[in-house]
Amino acid sequence: MADEHTIESIMIADCGTVSTKVLFLERVEDSYRFVAQAEAPTTLHAPWNDISTGVVYAIEEIERITGRTLLSGGFLISPQNGMQGVDAFVVTLSAPEPLHLLVGGLVREMSLESARRAAAGTYTQIDTVLSREGNLHSPEEQWARLVRDQAPDVVLLVGGVDGGAARPVMELADAIALGLSMLEQERRPVLLYAGNSTLRPALVKLIGDITRLEVVDNVRPSAEEEHLGPTTAALERLYMETRVNQTPGLDTLAAWSRLPLLPTATAFGNTVEYLWHATNQADRGALGIDLGAAHVTVAAVFEGRLTLSVHAQGAAYGPLAWAEAQGLDPLLRWMPEEIEPAEVWAWLYDRQLRPWTIPHESREFLLEQAALREMLRYALAQARPGWDPGKAQYQADVMPYLDPILISGGALARQPRPGQILLTVLDGLEPVGISTILLDLNRAAAALGAVATVKPLAAAAALEDGTLIPLGTVISPLGKGWSGEQILKMRITYDDNTTLDVEARYGELEIWPLLPGQRATLELRPSRRFDVGLGGPGRGGKVQALGGLVGLVVDGRGRPLELPEKADPRRKRLRRWLWDVGG
């Protein structure tokens, strides 16, 4: 591998559940420039059963686009030699199935909740929870049966503060040990213990050579304290070990890259962390949402601390399971036209059976947008309890102040019009105050996060060089008013000193021109009951705004966003908002 200062080109492959994206970056003087991007199906499963095949398809496409020779005999040429090959190759993955967990613990709101949050830090799926709750008859037998029949990848045992409850934890451990001993040796899952630390010697003695036991710090060392990091790190290691490293064809990709493979979520988190540091606003957080086909990754950074959560409710595979649990009403409320439930169910199944397809008709496109809104809302509802927003949290029942907000994921990025993406994001996230919305159009954010672990200058240069496209600056005044009430006066002073005086009204989405690459100074004067994040209700001030594909947006619809109960006025309003953003 060449040193960083001599790296002329970087190729990045991100293997998602449905599609594989490959990016090609090239050094131009002191910066790295995005040259080309290509996409191919992820070929992890039948009929290909080799993840490297999809990467080769995408690299061949980049060869066609750039006219370069990158492959020779099906292998990547490295290092670069003139117009042939690349100097560095980086791989991120979210394609492998998540780690299946069985979680045992004592109290749902305490240790089990901490275990859930720790597990959400990487690609896991909690299939079963064992606990004392529910007044089980002969719980040991039921627990042991669940362990044996589920045969998860990992059993995560938590419970008891340090020095606290011993007997109930050991009863659980005893039943788990019995269930494990009834499984074939090669199918026995790892037992990860993150409970009462004083019980570790007893656990080691009990498990003996039944299975591999890993012990980490207690997720809940005391009632008030939560310590998730070691459990999340252990689960991520196990995910890499039992899922990623067993991926068919990964050895080919690993042979092309001397850089470590990273889970996509971890890499995406690195980028969001970078964005927070780049803007460096102590009273604002940075948020990144990567809405993939199978997973939603929510990366939130407050006061420099990253909280990462991964939810198995992605854009393609998530909506069906979600609708089965929630019913169709939350989805249908976003539809600007009437639709039969049977049609919606058929669409939900089809979306899952053929996740790579794209809506051809407007009706299906509107359904997809509705589902994306709800997937965003669901992911946030899951992630937010784990945040520690500090000064960024102005009011408990709304979002903390977030700037920037990074949006990634194929289902969002491939929407035809920027306004449609923005509206989906505003409805799904309901930001407050002033936020710059960045779109990861080329789906490079995770890949650059992976590059940053080893080549930080290259990643930073690529991020600053326009890899992330601003959709615009959004001002979302916090407060309640009546329809049509004036809530904000604003003077926009453009770079050429021309000015525009505008007003925003309650219930409306207003858009003013501010082109990509353009900056403007905004002089904001909210009415006395509305807060734009400049010190409280009625407090205004001057701020810099970044232009984007949509422009400068004032979302005057209030927070939390309320839709009319009755179908006709609601549909009318949804159509109006879609029209307002050019959708």
Partner 1 sequence: MDAPYYTIVNPLTLVRLPRRLPHTGELLVNIGDTVEATQAVAQCVEPPAFCIINVSQELGVPPKKAAEHLKVKIGSEVKEGQILAARGLLGGRTCYAPMHGIITGFGRGRLLLEAPPHTTTLNALIPGTVVELFPDSGVLIEAVGAFIQGIWGNEQESYGVLRGMVKNPRQPLRAKNLDPAVQGTIIVGGIQLDEETLNQAKAMQVRGILVGSIPPALLSKVRALEFPVIATEGIGEIPMCDAIFQLLRSLDGREIAVNGHMHSRWGPERPYALVPMPAANASPVAPEQPLKPGSRVRALRAPYRGLSGEVVAIQPGLTMLETGARLPGVQVDFNGETAFIPYANLERLL
Q: Which residues bind partner 1 (CB under 8 A)?
A: 40-41, 44-47, 57, 60-61, 97, 138, 140-141, 144-145, 148-149, 174, 178, 182-184, 186-187, 342-343, 345-350, 353-354, 356-365, 414-417, 420
Across-strand partners of 213? 191
Residue 35 has, within 13 A of its CA and on its CB side, a CA count of 23
165: CB partners within 8 A, 6+ apart: 106, 159, 196
How many Å apart are CA 317 and CA 292, to the nearest integer?
9
3-state secondary structure of 69: strand
User: Least Å distance between CB 348 and partner 1?
Assistant: 8
**Residue 140 beta carbon to partner 1: minimum distance, rounded to whole angstroms:** 6
Q: Do 314 and 393 contact (CB within 8 A), yes or no?
A: no
Residue 447 CB, nearest distance to partner 1 (Å)? 21
Contact 253, 52 (CB under 8 A): yes
Closer of 258 and 354 to partner 1 (Cβ): 354
Nearest residue (CB) to partner 1, 233 versus 332: 332
Rounded-to-integer distance, Cα 227 and Cα 538, Å: 40
CA pair distance 371, 316, nearest whole angstrom: 9
Residues with Cβ within 8 Å of 301's Cβ and at least 6 positions away in sequence, in order, are 272, 273, 275, 276, 285, 286, 287, 307
Nearer to partner 1, 538 or 582 (CB): 582
How far is Cα 555 from Cα 575, in angstroms, rounded to an integer?
16
Local structure of residue 303 (DSSP, 8 states): T
Minimum CB separation of residue 38 from partner 1 in Å reads: 10
Of 88 and 169, nearer to partner 1 (C-beta) is 169
Nearest to partner 1 of 60, 214 (CB atom): 60
* 567-580 and 418-429 helices, crossing angle to 10°: 130
Q: How far is the CB of 397 from partner 1 (least distance, A)?
A: 35
Q: Which residues contact 401 (CB under 8 A, 6 or more apart)?
A: 283, 284, 285, 392, 394, 432, 433, 434, 435, 533
Nearer to partner 1, 65 or 223 (CB): 65
Q: What is the closest distance, in whole angstroms, from the C-beta atom of residue 317 to partner 1 in the complex?
A: 11
Residue 118, SS3? Answer: helix
Q: How many CB atoms lie within 10 A of CB 254?
A: 17
Cα gap 214→177, rounded to integer Å: 14
CB of 88 to partner 1, least distance (A): 25
- Which residues, 6 or more positions from 576, have their beta carbon under 8 angstroms from its beta carbon? none
Q: Decide whether 49 or 395 has the Cβ nearer to partner 1.
A: 49
Decide if 169 contacts 219 (C-beta within 8 A). Answer: no
Q: Give min distance, CB of 493 to partner 1, in A.
A: 33
Of 148 and 305, the one with the shorter C-beta distance to partner 1 is 148
Beta carbon of residue 125, minimum distance to partner 1 (angstroms, whole number): 14
Least distance to partner 1 from the beta carbon of 66, Å? 17
Taking the least distance from each CB to partner 1, the nearer of 47 and 67 is 47
What is the distance between the alpha carbons of residues 242 and 245, in angstroms, rounded to a whole number?
Answer: 6
Task: Report strand pairing: 486-494 vs 519-526.
Answer: antiparallel
Choose between 190 and 234: whose C-beta lies nearer to partner 1. 190
Is 419 or 526 the residue whose CB approaches partner 1 more closely? 419
Q: State which residue, 362 or 395, has the beta carbon closest to partner 1.
A: 362
Q: Long-range CB contacts (< 8 A, 24+ apart) of 558-564?
A: 558/479, 558/480, 558/481, 558/506, 558/507, 559/398, 559/399, 559/430, 559/432, 559/476, 559/478, 559/479, 560/397, 560/398, 560/430, 561/427, 561/430, 563/333
Cβ 359 to partner 1, closest distance in Å? 6
Nearer Cβ to partner 1 (75/349): 349
Residue 464: DSSP 8-state: I
Query: Which DSSP string do the residues of 368-407 spell out, in sequence order?
Result: HHHHHHHHHHHHHHHHGGG---GGG--STTSPPPEEEEEE
**CA atoms of 57 and 162, how far apart (whole Å):** 52
> Measured from the CB of residue 273, what is the shortest distance to partner 1 in angstroms?
33
CB of 223 to partner 1, least distance (A): 29
